[in-house]
Amino acid sequence: MRDSLRESVSYWGLYKKMLQAKKMIKPQAVSFGNNRQQYFLYYEPKRTTSDKVIIWVHGGGWNAGSPHFFDFVGQCFIKNGYRFLSLGYRLSPKYKYPCQIEDVCNGYKSAIAFLGRKGIDTSKIIISGPSAGAHLSAILCYSPKIQKQFGVDLSNVIGFIGVGGPYSFSGKQSLSVRLLLNQLFAKGYDRVQGEPCSLMEKSQIPMLLIQSRHDGLISYSCAEDFYHKAQALGNPCELYPVVDKKDTHSWYTAGMFLETREENQGLDKFFTWIENI
């Protein structure tokens, strides 16, 4: 209960800092479907310092959010010298799963083609996402069934970072998560078909899971379940518990990108892992 209350009161500080975030560049918007939510934003830093490209799937409980709303994340990455691409997808409850993973897969393919046309090296791709975006990007990376179904080639993906993801639907869930899952899945749908922990198979893509023990929305056990499943399969995986004082769900999945590496240990872990992979 205490963590849930801390989550509720954390929003004001987060939104205030979001409004103060500086925009270094205006990203390029590219549509990959007929729906207005099927688009991505591409961020090209003024000075590129890494040959790795970050492809990001936004969070928002599957029913909210967009690449434009999370513009500050892209601004953070270009400030640190990375090319960054933020994927959008159709939202629930109007659009039920698997519409979201279909969009993420098709958006990923469109993004790789877009980068290729610009002459950008796509041999070192990092896929990442927070919260609902961690759920969807985890399925993209670790479900061969989904990859085959939508014709996705991930041979150039060298890493996955999930932040605060609901990878497992078993165990105790908060009321908020139960409501969001009821919106995401149609009544009677077999949710195992949309659960990363059940869909994960053997993979050589290393993963970093960043999760807080004081997340008022997503249980830490979600990441533990996914981590142990990865270990059992022999998939390279690291589970990093958030140590920052700002460890509520909203702050470590989104707010950390409004801070610097010196201010936020989770953000520093995020970039250090990418640098060393």
Alpha helix positions (H), the chain: 2-20, 71-79, 99-117, 132-142, 144-150, 175-184, 196-199, 220-233, 249-253, 265-276
Q: Which CATH number do you get for residue 196?
A: 3.40.50.1820
Quote the domain boundaries for residue 209.
2-276
Provide the token pair at 264.
Answer: 């936020």
Dist CA 189 CA 271 (whole Å): 37
Three-state secondary-structure class, residue 78: helix
Provide the token pair at 15.
Answer: 């939104």
Question: pLDDT of the chain along its 277 residues, tens only?
Answer: 466 667 666 666 777 787 778 888 999 999 999 999 999 999 999 999 999 999 999 999 999 999 999 999 999 999 999 999 999 999 999 999 999 999 999 999 999 999 999 999 999 999 999 999 999 999 999 999 999 999 999 999 999 999 999 999 987 788 999 999 999 999 999 999 999 999 999 999 999 999 999 998 999 999 999 999 999 999 999 999 999 999 999 999 999 999 999 999 999 999 999 999 9
Domains: count for the chain? 1
Calculate the CA 169 to chain-centre distance: 17
Angle between helices 132-142 and 99-117 (to 10 degrees): 70
Alpha helix positions (H), 21-172: 71-79, 99-117, 132-142, 144-150
Dist CA 183 CA 96 (whole Å): 7
Dist CA 212 CA 221 (whole Å): 10
